[in-house]
Amino acid sequence: MSLPFVVRTIDAVTIRAERPQLSQLLTDGFAAGAALGFAPPVTERDLAPYWSGIADEVAAGLRHLLVATATDKAAPDKAASDKAASDKAASDSAAGRELVGCVQLVPDQAPNGRHRGEVRTLAVRSTARQQGVAARLMSTMESLAADLGLSLLHLTTHVDLTAADVYRRLGWTELGVIPGYAVAPDGRLVDNVFFWKHLGAGG
């Protein structure tokens, strides 16, 4: 049976309240081979200030964090349902619902780049993979980006991760590979592949 979940955007207060679960998502992804911007080893000493900084940027409107939350029943796969779910964030947190995925959207702040944004830190809990969580997170994030007036998104991931295949399947265009771009969780230098996607009619 597929996992029922909703996707919502969370604010700085919720990020701080949900920090243990958010950190677990990243350590879970790190264990699966995705560095997610961290160098080994990843500890709570790294993650606590990281999430504090993310919360500050979300509060300032410089970044957006979307999470997938397990629910008692499935919600329709529509942006409207995800928006309605955001109104339930406080009650969901109080009920101790499990976070099963997250993704970040970072709009570019350059004066000549405010039409674009970077997608960062897509992570799905190991027990919730291959159940549509990543696809829903990405589609909801793209809808949010369009609402913010962004028309171009870009991202990167390690070439040997299944995430690269996920992005191709979701219609992202592969730009190319940079050898030895990042340090993997096992300490190796690994190649990264870069993707981009236009939003709207031209996407």
Is 83 in contact with 143 (CB distance < 8 Å)?
A: no
> Tokens 């159940």 map to which residue?
131
Share of the chain above pLDDT 70, in %: 86
* C-alpha triplet 107, 86, 137: angle, nearest 5°: 55
- Give whole-number Cα distances, 142 to 98, 135, 151, in Å: 23, 11, 9
Predicted confidence (pLDDT) per residue in 46-77, tens digit: 899 999 999 999 999 999 999 999 997 654 44
pTM, to two decimals: 0.86
Q: Which of 7-16, 122-131, 169-178 has the lowest mean pLDDT?
A: 122-131
Mean pLDDT, residues 93-106: 80
* Confidence grade of residue 44 (pLDDT, cut at 50, 70, 90): confident
